[in-house]
């Protein structure tokens, strides 16, 4: 499974490129459009009405030219009264048509835009719902970094909503108008209609060749955009490190290289686009010239039904036929861009293997979860290829505090990730209270687990909202009590807005206490502590330790820490090395065994200058 995840991002575009064309794109969009079928029907009716209005100018001009021509050749001479009637009639028809067309166009655009906005909203909600179901392994896969995912989602939604706009607001009116104009041309003269019809397939063929030539370049541009967005996000997140090492120029140079690459790719796509657009414009103008020559010739030879007015009539109708051709290169470019971005977007919706699987066991009603974990011969490799856990077996006793000890990269945090079902083991078994972990309902499992990490995320919002995240139904009094247990209450109350203050403005240590307050508020039977006091000062560490000691009573606790004080307080510990369990027992027993734990313990004591501390205390 992990290997599949590794190749998901890199293969997604290639796989979808061979499967999705414009027709496939529209089919994927259809389920998002059909809920607004009445808006769609209204838009189509207005579109047809607007297309009829578009032909009025040609018909009026045809009649006006012939009427004026007859007026100029009257035997009694030119009559201003007759001319005035013609001009008044033309003006009334054209002005009335413009007023009606403006109302129709407004309605057609407003309804079409409402469809686009609603579809955009539904696409956004769908992908958010989907992402929330993905396993952690998905987000650890190369190509699924936050910046790249954001680009894939943002550009996907934007391009897909633009596709709805292009199809229902732009293309349909243009092509409906073109079909009606072509029918009128054939009705007036078959030969002129055939000339107009012959130009269209040539133009479409050129456009198709253009799309094939540019598709590869669009994928390259899309990939570079992802890298740029991810790079900028990385700069923002790492700004402190960048400045501390004076590496502003290095990061700027990286971005400059990517920007240069993006510029070259965009210029290449524009060169190809402009070349084909010029060729299509030339073909369109050839069609106009042929229409003028043919209609003029038919008038000169006195062909039945042809008159001077018909020259202008056919030229204007051909303009209505060629209008979608003049717009097609832009719309076709947008549709091909949409194909590139839609592949990434729908790839997220279609990623079935990445969805977090959940069992049906929620625990017996009214019975408290004991918290006995058993791991047997567990193997686990991260999607990136890191073999983190190797043939690991251990038992976490309920109601006890178990410490996981080892050097960095030993697999301690990975065990917590497996126990919380963030990842699934490649082989072996994990049970909770005798029930296989994969059979546990994921939501039910996590409701019984409190997790405090070394680096905890603080959401945009107030301090109260962040603490209440531990239990949304908690009262204000309960939130304040949780803050007291986390020894952050007094500091919060010193802020101008108290619990209504912006949580993102807190220091790192204060944010860590907010995360611990969430855990107190949740009050779960199982607690995972991964370096819970890493960002705190000595006094705060002692305060939090006292609170944690109080809440640990009667609960299953797993502690990961480099703090000797937290390790020796545990009931049992496992010593890990490169994913293996190399020692286990009570802290005193394992220390007397010697080996890795004694080395870590002694090194920690020396780093704390324990001898001098003891002398000072004496």
Q: Is 601 exposed, middle or buried (0-12, 13-18, 19+ CB in 10 A)?
A: middle
Bridge-based pairing of strands 556-560 and 401-406 is parallel
DSSP category for residue 462: B
CA-wise closest residue to 52 among 235, 209, 179, 214: 179
In whole angstroms, give the CA distance from residue 415 to residue 418: 5
How much is the pLDDT for 402?
A: 93
Which two tokens mark 593?
């065994």
Which two tokens mark 254?
């990286």
Does the pTM exceed 0.85? no
The H-or-E segment that residue 427 falls in is strand 427-432
Helices (H), 486-560: 489-493, 508-522, 538-552
Which pLDDT tens digit goes with each residue over 44-55?
Answer: 788 778 777 777
Which pLDDT tens digit goes with each residue over 223-233?
Answer: 777 677 777 77
Polymer length in residues for the chain: 618
The H-or-E segment that residue 216 falls in is helix 190-237
Q: Are 160 and 119 in contact (CB under 8 A)?
A: yes
How much is the pLDDT for 572?
A: 92
How much is the pLDDT for 12?
A: 40
How much is the pLDDT for 329?
A: 61
In whole angstroms, give the CA distance from residue 519 to residue 535: 17
Where b means 16+ CB within 10 Å and e means fewer, 304-324 reads eebbebbbbbbbbbbbbbbbb
Low-confidence stretches of the chain (pLDDT < 70) are 1-20, 62, 66, 68-82, 140, 142-143, 147, 211, 215-219, 222, 226, 237, 240-241, 244-245, 324-326, 328-330, 332-333, 352-367, 456, 534-536, 610-611, 613-618
Q: Are 131 and 352 in contact (CB under 8 A)?
A: no
How much is the pLDDT for 603?
A: 85
3-state secondary structure of 222: helix
How much is the pLDDT for 72?
A: 61
In whole angstroms, give the CA distance from residue 347 to residue 354: 11
Q: Is 447 exposed, middle or buried (0-12, 13-18, 19+ CB in 10 A)?
A: middle
3-state secondary structure of 585: strand
Backbone angles phi, psi at 476, to 5 degrees: -60, -40
- Number of helices (H), then strands (E), belonging to the chain: the values are 23, 10
Neighbours of 283 (CB within 10 A): 17
DSSP string of 29-84, one letter each residue: HHHHHGGGHHHHHHHHHHHHHHHHHHTHHHHHHHHHHHHHHHHHT-TT---HHHHH
**Who's near 43: CB < 8 A, 6+ residues apart?**
108, 111, 112, 115, 168, 169, 172
């Amino acid at each position: 499974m992990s290997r599949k995840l590794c190749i998901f991002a890199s293969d997604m575009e290639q796989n979808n490129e061979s499967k999705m064309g414009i027709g496939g794109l529209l089919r994927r969009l259809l389920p998002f459009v059909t809920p607004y079928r009445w808006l769609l029907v209204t838009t189509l009716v207005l579109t047809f009405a607007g297309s009829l209005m578009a032909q009025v100018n040609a018909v009026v001009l045809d009649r006006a030219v012939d009427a004026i021509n007859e007026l100029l050749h009257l035997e009694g001479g030119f009559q201003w009264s007759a001319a005035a009637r013609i001009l008044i009639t033309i003006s009334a028809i054209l002005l009335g048509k413009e007023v009606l067309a403006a109302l129709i166009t407004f309605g057609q655009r407003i309804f079409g835009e409402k469809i686009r906005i609603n579809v955009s909203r539904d696409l956004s909600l769908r992908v958010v719902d989907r992402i929330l179901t993905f396993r952690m392994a998905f987000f650890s896969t190369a190509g699924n970094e936050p910046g790249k995912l954001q680009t894939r989602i943002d550009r996907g939604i934007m391009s897909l909503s633009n596709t709805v706009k292009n199809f229902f607001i732009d293309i349909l009116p243009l092509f409906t108008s073109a079909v009606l104009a072509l029918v009128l041309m054939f009705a007036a003269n078959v030969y002129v209609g055939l000339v107009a019809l012959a130009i269209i397939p040539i133009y479409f063929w050129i456009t198709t060749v253009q799309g094939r030539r540019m598709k590869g370049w669009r994928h390259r541009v899309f990939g570079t955009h992802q890298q740029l967005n991810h790079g900028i996000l990385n700069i923002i997140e790492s700004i402190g490190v960048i400045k501390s090492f004076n590496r502003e120029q290095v990061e700027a140079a990286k971005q400059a290289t990517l920007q240069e690459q993006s510029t070259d790719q965009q210029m290449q796509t524009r060169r190809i686009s402009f070349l084909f657009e010029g060729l299509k414009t030339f073909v369109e103008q050839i069609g106009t010239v042929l229409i003028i020559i043919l209609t003029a010739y038919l008038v000169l030879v006195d062909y039945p039904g042809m008159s001077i007015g018909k020259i202008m009539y056919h030229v204007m109708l051909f303009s209505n036929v060629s209008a979608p051709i003049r717009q097609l290169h832009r719309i076709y470019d947008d549709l091909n861009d949409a194909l590139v971005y839609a592949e990434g977007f729908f790839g997220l919706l279609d990623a079935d293997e990445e969805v977090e699987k959940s069992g049906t066991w929620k625990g017996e009603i009214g019975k408290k979860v004991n918290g006995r974990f058993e791991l047997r011969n567990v193997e686990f490799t991260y999607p990136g290829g890191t073999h983190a856990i190797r043939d690991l077996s251990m038992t976490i006793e309920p109601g006890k505090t178990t410490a996981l000890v080892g050097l960095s990269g030993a697999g301690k945090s990975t065990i917590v990730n497996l126990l919380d079902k963030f990842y699934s083991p490649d082989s072996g078994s994990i049970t909770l209270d005798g029930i296989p972990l994969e059979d546990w309902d994921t939501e039910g499992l996590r409701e019984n687990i409190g997790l405090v990490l070394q680096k905890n995320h603080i959401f945009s919002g107030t301090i109260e909202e962040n603490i209440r995240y531990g239990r949304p139904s908690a009262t204000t009094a309960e939130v304040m009590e949780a803050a007291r247990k986390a020894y952050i209450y007094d500091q919060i109350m010193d802020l101008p807005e108290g619990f209504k203050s912006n949580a993102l403005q807190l220091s790192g240590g204060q944010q860590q206490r907010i995360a611990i307050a969430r855990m107190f508020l949740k009050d779960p039977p199982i607690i995972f502590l991964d370096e819970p006091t890493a960002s705190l000062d000595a006094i705060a560490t002692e305060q939090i330790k006292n609170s944690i000691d109080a809440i640990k009573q009667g609960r299953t606790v797993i502690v990961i820490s480099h703090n000797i004080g937290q390790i020796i307080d545990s009931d049992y510990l496992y010593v890990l090395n490169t994913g293996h369990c190399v020692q286990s027992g009570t802290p005193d027993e394992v220390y007397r065994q010697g080996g890795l734990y004694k080395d870590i313990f002694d090194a920690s004591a020396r780093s704390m200058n324990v001898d001098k501390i003891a002398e000072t205390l004496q």
